[in-house]
Chains A and B, each alone.
Chain A
Amino acid sequence: MGAGDGSAVVWARPRWAIGGASIRAYVARRLVVLAVLLVAVSFAVFCLLYLAPGNPIDMLLGQRPRTPATVSALTRQYNLDKPFFEQYWLWAWRALHLDFGTSIQTSLPVATEIKARLPTSLFLGCYAFGLATMTGIGLGVQAAVRRGTLVDRFVVSAVVIGLSTPVFVSGVGLLYVFAIQLHWLPAFGKGNGFFDELWHLTLPAIALAVPSTAYILKHARAAMLGVLEQDYIVFARARGLSPWRILFSYALRNALIPVVTMCGLVLSSLIVGAVLTEMTFSVQGIGHLLVQSALAKDIAVIQCVSLLVAVSVMATNLLADVLYLLVDPRIRLGRR
Chain B
Amino acid sequence: MSASAAVTANPQTMTSPLLSVKRLRIERRTAEGLQTLVSGVELTVQPGETIGIVGESGSGKSITTRAITGLLPPGLTATGEIRYAGRSLLGLRERDWRTVRGTELGLILQDPFTMLNPIMRCERILGESLRNGGTSWFARREEAIRRLAEVGIHDASVIDRYPFQLSGGMRQRVAIAAALARDPSLLIADEPSTALDVTTQREILALLRRIQVARGMSLILITHDLRVAFAMCDRIYVMYAGSLVEVAPADKLDAEPLHPYSNALLLSEPPVDRRVAELVAIPGSVPSPGEVANKCVFVPRCQWAQSACHQGSPLLREVMPGRLSACIRVDEIRGQMTALRRQSAEAVFRPADTTPRNQILQAHGIQKVFGGQRHPVVALDNVFLEVREGESVGLVGESGSGKTTLSRVLVGLEHATAGNVTVGGVNVADWRKLNRKDLATIRRTVQVVFQDPYSTLNPMRSIGWTLAEAITTHKPDTRQVDREVEGLLEAVGLPTSYAQRRPAALSGGMRQRVAIARALAARPRVLICDEPVSALDVSVQAQILNLLNRLRAEREIAYLFITHDLSIVRQVTERIYVMHRGRVVESGTTDDVLNHPQDPYTVRLLASAPTAERDWLDGTR
Contacts and interface: CB of A to CB of B under 8 A. Distances in A.
27 contacts: A3-B148, A3-B149, A7-B142, A10-B141, A15-B160, A231-B109, A231-B114, A231-B115, A234-B71, A235-B116, A235-B175, A235-B178, A238-B71, A238-B106, A239-B106, A239-B181, A239-B182, A240-B99, A242-B98, A249-B117, A329-B119, A329-B162, A329-B164, A330-B118, A330-B119, A330-B162, A336-B165
Contacts of A240: 97-103, 182
A6 B182 contact: no
Contacts of B138: 10
A10 B156 contact: yes
A147 B108 CA distance: 26
A173 to B, nearest CB: 37
A96 interface: no
Given A10-B145, A330-B119, A333-B162, A230 B128 contact: no
Pairs A-B, 8 closest by C-beta atoms: A240-B102, A3-B149, A238-B107, A6-B145, A240-B101, A231-B114, A6-B156, A239-B102
A193 interface: no
Contacts of A7: 142, 145
Contact of B119 (A10, A234, A328): A328
A243 B148 CA distance: 25
B74 interface: yes
Given A236-B117, A238-B106, A328-B119, 8 more contacts: A3-B145, A10-B141, A13-B157, A231-B109, A235-B115, A240-B103, A329-B118, A329-B164
Interface in A297-336: 327-330, 333, 335-336
A2 B102 CA distance: 26
Given A6-B149, A234-B109, A238-B101, A335 B117 contact: no
Contacts of B182: 239-240
B107 A243 contact: no
**Most chain A CB atoms below 10 A, which of B94, B100, B156:** B156
Interface residues of B, number: 48
Main secondary structure of the interface of A (DSSP, over half): helix
A245 B125 CA distance: 12
B146 interface: yes
A234 B188 CA distance: 14
A238 B102 contact: yes
B154 interface: yes
B57 interface: no
Contacts of B106: 238-239
Contacts of B119: 253-254, 257, 327-330
A232 interface: yes
A12 B114 contact: no
A336 B170 CA distance: 14
A101 B109 CA distance: 67
Contacts of A328: 119
B179 interface: yes
Contact of A249 (B66, B116, B118, B120): B120
Interface in B56-110: 66, 69, 71, 74, 94, 97-103, 105-109
A1 interface: yes
B157 A12 contact: yes
Contacts of A234: 66, 71, 109
Interface of B: 66, 69, 71, 74, 94, 97-103, 105-109, 111, 114-120, 128-129, 138, 141-142, 145-146, 148-150, 154-157, 160, 162, 164-165, 175, 178-179, 181-182
Nearest to B147: A3
Interface residues of A, number: 37
Contacts of B156: 1, 6, 9-10
Nearest to B98: A240
Interface in A230-270: 230-232, 234-243, 245, 249-250, 253-254, 257
B70 to A, nearest CB: 9
Contacts of A249: 117, 120, 128
**Most chain B CB atoms below 10 A, which of A1, A237, A240, A257:** A240
Contacts of A231: 109, 111, 114-115
Interface in A1-55: 1-3, 6-7, 9-10, 12-13, 15
Interface in A204-234: 230-232, 234
A235 B107 contact: yes
A9 B155 CA distance: 9
Contacts of B107: 235, 238
Nearest to A335: B164
A81 B98 CA distance: 80
A241 B126 CA distance: 11
Nearest to B188: A238
B404 to A, nearest CB: 19
A163 to B, nearest CB: 27
Contact of A232 (B115, B150, B162, B181): B115
Contacts of A3: 145-146, 148-150, 154
Contacts of A336: 164-165
B396 to A, nearest CB: 26
A1 B116 contact: no
A245 B148 CA distance: 23
**Most chain A CB atoms below 10 A, which of B111, B117, B179, B181:** B117
Contacts of B150: 3
B118 A333 contact: no
A234 B103 CA distance: 16
Contacts of A1: 154-156
**Most chain B CB atoms below 10 A, which of A15, A232, A242, A257:** A232
A154 B184 CA distance: 42
Nearest to A238: B107
Contact of B128 (A10, A245, A257, A329): A245
Nearest to A147: B74
Contacts of B149: 2-3, 6
A151 to B, nearest CB: 15
B126 to A, nearest CB: 10
Given A239-B182, A336-B165, A232 B118 contact: yes
Nearest to B148: A3
A237 B101 contact: yes
Given A238-B101, A241-B129, A9 B157 contact: yes
Contacts of A239: 101-102, 106, 129, 178-179, 181-182
Contacts of B102: 238-241
A10 B142 contact: yes
Nearest to A243: B94
A336 B142 CA distance: 27
A147 B71 CA distance: 17
Contacts of A235: 107-109, 115-116, 175, 178-179
A77 B160 CA distance: 61
A232 B117 contact: yes
Given A239-B182, A241-B128, A250 B157 contact: no
